[in-house]
Structure 1
Amino acid sequence: MPPYRLQTLIEMRERAKEEAEQAFSAAVKALAKEKEELQRLEEELVTRKAMRKQKVQEYLQQVMAKGVTGIGGFNQMNRYEERLKDEEAQLALEVERQKDAVITAEKLVEQKRREMAEAAKELKAIEKHKENWKKQLKEERDKKEEMNQEEIGNTLFMMRQRK
């Protein structure tokens, strides 16, 4: 049987398919990592809000317990609370950025999934071509064999006729 002349193409398509599968796997892992980071940031934001409320409440109780007169104690408490709120706002911005990163990672996963499917489809097409080529080669060989057998049969028939 002669070598398949497109074997190099099959090997290239197989490598492309493997690379696409690896890229898809890496994209899925990256998406999982981004989602974990988003979850962590969201949990941290919830924790900070709860801690801020608790600390403000504790500070208010301290001020009341000391009996500090005047606005000074309340101003300090307000500044402290504002600083905590600013930190929360900064964290909320990080959460939003992370949500964008998750969306980007999801789009990348979908793109890699399409590339992987395309690579598999191309490999399957060339493999189908190879199967058809083998089938055609076998049919041609069988026809030649049949013609040879028929020729041998005719020759034997002619030889018997001459005797």
Structure 2
Amino acid sequence: MRIRPETPADAAAIRDINIRAFADHPVSRQTEQFIVEGLRRAGALSVSLVAEEDGRAVGHIAFSPARIAGRDQGWHLLGPLAVLPEWQRRGVGSTLTAAGLDALRALGSRGCVLVGPPEYYTRRGFRQASRLVYPGVPPEVVLCLPLSGPEPEGEVAHHPAFDLTAEGPLDEPGRHGF
């Protein structure tokens, strides 16, 4: 398996990966493909990696800037992370996550925050955020990984692309603070 930065030619495959990966996900709004496309259009993908096997894209991970307590503190938001169903539980997501975190370190990122299952991400070094609040999200699924320095304190704000749907922005968008 090869992990590499996305290229413009990957857009359709990344869209398909996100659609298929989240099709049966119990807490997905099936908007992940719109999130990635919105981040890409806005130039807000800090890191965007593709997992490739035999020339075929099988997974994708995106990282974008996160604002904490109303300002840029050098932290990033992981998501979405998507792997084709037939490639899940084969280490693709773990490999993408590790490569993405290495890329964030190379950019000088101070840390990474995400919303996701603790049983998956704690094995990758993340822990429950003790000082971060993500509005509308249960605290037990707000996880963080400081890369340099301590965990900051405050409310996490995501890019407006996280509020996109096929029809445009959500009727009740989350707080994005961008």
TM-score class normalised by the smaller sequence:
under 0.3
Highest Rg: 1 or 2? 1
TM-score (normalizing by structure 2): 0.17
TM-score (normalizing by structure 1): 0.19
Greater relative contact order (Cα 8 A, min sep 6): structure 1 or 2? Answer: 1
In terms of fraction of residues, the more helix-rich structure is 1
